[in-house]
Structure 1
Amino acid sequence: MIRIERLDAGAACRHQSALAEVLHDCVAGGASISFMWPFSREQAAHYWKSIVAAVREDRACLLGAFDDDRLGGTVQLWLDGPCNQRHRGDVRKLLVHRAMRRRGMARRLMQALEAEARSRQLSLLTLDTATGSDGERLYRAMDWQSVGVIPRYALWPDGRFCDTTVFYKELAVTAA
């Protein structure tokens, strides 16, 4: 059974090896998520150290998806925008290990992220994803609004250009 947990800095440290494995697997699988191949597990572990610091400082919220006790997916809600944009958050690194896909993990992570954003009184979320990806299809199915496509925005891990689709979602929030 899949469960979603908010990972504080201590939990992120405890799960750092599993988080690194998920990230490494996604890059190895060709995901355009800011890293190039070859990409080592050590590089993945180093990345998560910076995320732990952001979580500790409440600049980011980290969610993990577990199937039984195995961490198989993660997503980040970034909260460190400028003072005139405190009403919005950025979604980053929706990652699901290839062995754990097609179980609804990504959808559950995004539902939990949206609930977390609402609890923080955020009324707008933004993200970008590789055009034509599973992520793009998921966001469209979850009623995210496409702003458009930026051609050659990033690179795939193998060095080919990757177009990016930019999305936003407005959230209904209740007064605090």
Structure 2
Amino acid sequence: MQQDQLIAQLQAGNEKAFERIYELYSESTYGIIHSITRDKEISEELLQDVFLKIWNNAESYNPDKGRFFTWILNIARNASIDKIRSKSFRNHRLNLTSDNFVDILESKSSIGSKIDAIGLQKYIDILEPVCKKLIDLLFFKGFTQKETAEELEMPLGTVKTRNRICIDKLRSTVIN
């Protein structure tokens, strides 16, 4: 079945189409969620929430605004960022053992495993270091632009401009 047909059937409320979409996209979606939350249980819970949002909001997908996979990943990314900014998540993190912090600290410096989960590694490798760092902080670690500016010790306006330039470079690399 073609992707366009599958999406149309999903938007019409076809449960089989939804099951097929889950089969196709759940692994990549889980990878994005887990790279942000770094918690297996929360990632599994969020994966279910994301696919529930996909089911409930399927009619809002517009192919003129972007690819279906990008739409799904944006839902997953936004849900994950909302979760890690929530008070309940912060309280949950207060009760973690030191073993969890070792993993978090080790993963802070490496964006490779996160971006490879969705197949972007080869495209990001060709970007200059500042772009790699910006994309890692803003899109894979869920930093706000203000937090990124503080982390990189640069003005907020510079972060915004460089982010736009880097995303444009990434977009042109992926499309070509």
Both structures adopt the same fold (TM-score exceeding 0.5): no
**Which structure has greater strand proportion?**
1
Name the TM tier (shorter chain): 0.3 to 0.5
Q: Which structure has the greater CA radius of gyration?
A: 2
Higher helix share: 2
